[in-house]
Amino acid sequence: MSKYILTILFLSFMAAPGLADSYQERFDDAYGPKTYQIEVDKSFARFATKMCTADIIKGGFEDFSGQIYFDRETPENSHVDVTINAASLTLDHEYHKDELLKDIIEGDQILKTPIFPVISLKSTKIERTSLNTGFMTADLTLVGETHPITLEITFENTMSDRYARKVDRQRVAFSAYGTFKRSDWNVLYGLDRVGIRRMSDDVQVFISVTAKPIEE
C-alpha cells in the first residue's frame, strides 16, 4: 500500500503545472550537453616509448589546456580540443632528466619546439562502444604536421570521494589511450639504427582529464 501511495504522490508531483518543467530544467542543467574546461591540476597528458638500449622513456607535459563539449546522451556529438606546450616536457626517471636527453627530445631531432611550440589534438569523430566507452579519432598536430590518431576513450562523472561512493555531477572525467607511429609525422631520429640501439617508432599516449563546466 505504501509503495502505491508513493507512486501516486510522485506522479501527481510530476504532473503538477510547472513542477515537471522545473525538474526537467534541473536535470538538463546537470546532465545536458555543455562545454567543459580542463582542470590541469587534476589531469595529465603522458607518453611512453623506447628511446635506445633497453631503456623505456616515460614522460609528460605540464602545460596544457583545452575544452570538451560533452553530450552525455549522445557522446557521438561530443568534441575535444586540447593544446599542449611542447616545451613543458618532463621525464620521470632521474637518469632521463639529463639535459642532453631533454635537449634531444625538444630539439631539432624530435619535437623541434623552437619552431613548433604547440602540440594539438582535435577530435573529428567519436564512436560509442558501450555506456561509458568508445573510440575517438582526432587530428594530432606534431612538428607542424597533422595526421589522424585513434584513441580508446572512457567517460563518466567524477567521483567526489576516494571510495567512489559519491558522484560529482558538476564535473566529468575522461581517459584516452592509444599508440601512434612518429614516422607518420616525419620524426625519424634513431629509426635507422639496428639492434638494441634502435629507437622505437611507436609512441604510447595516456591522457586522463577532469573538467568542469564553463560558466556562461
**Torsion sign over Cα 35, 124, 144, 61:** positive
Q: 84 near 116, Cβ under 8 Å?
A: no
210: pLDDT strictly greater than 70? yes
Res 8: pLDDT: 45
The alpha helices in the chain, defined as continuous H runs, are 2-15, 19-31, 99-106
Task: Please compute the mean of the pLDDT values over residues 4-27 and round it to a whole number.
Answer: 48
The pLDDT, as a whole number, for residue 103 is 87
pLDDT score at 205: 97
CA angle 43, 46, 48 (to 5 degrees): 160
The pTM score is 0.80
* Res 166: pLDDT: 61
What is the reported pLDDT for 100? 79
pLDDT at 89 over 90: yes
Least confident range from 16-30, 32-46, 92-106, 162-176: namely 16-30
- The C-alpha angle 165, 167, 169, rounded to 5 degrees, equals 175
Rounded CA separation 129/124 (Å): 17
pLDDT of residue 197: 77
Amino acid letter, 115: I
Q: Is 150 exposed, middle or buried (0-12, 13-18, 19+ CB in 10 A)?
A: middle
pLDDT over 60 (residue 66): yes
Average pLDDT of the chain to the nearest whole number: 83
Mean pLDDT of 135-161: 89
Neighbours of 161 (CB within 10 A): 9
**Which one-letter DSSP state was computed for residue 51?**
-
**Three cell numbers, residue 139:** 587530428
Distances, alpha carbon 146 to alpha carbons 25, 60, 64, 76, 182, in Å:
41, 20, 18, 22, 11
- Residue 161 sits at φ, ψ, to 5 deg, of -140, 160
156 or 165, greater pLDDT: 156
Q: For residue 156, what pLDDT is reported?
A: 78
- The rounded percent of the chain whose pLDDT value lies above 70 is 75
Choice between 106 and 97, residue whose per-residue pLDDT is larger: 106
Please state which of the ranges 48-62, 128-142, 145-159, 165-179 shows the lowest mean pLDDT. 165-179
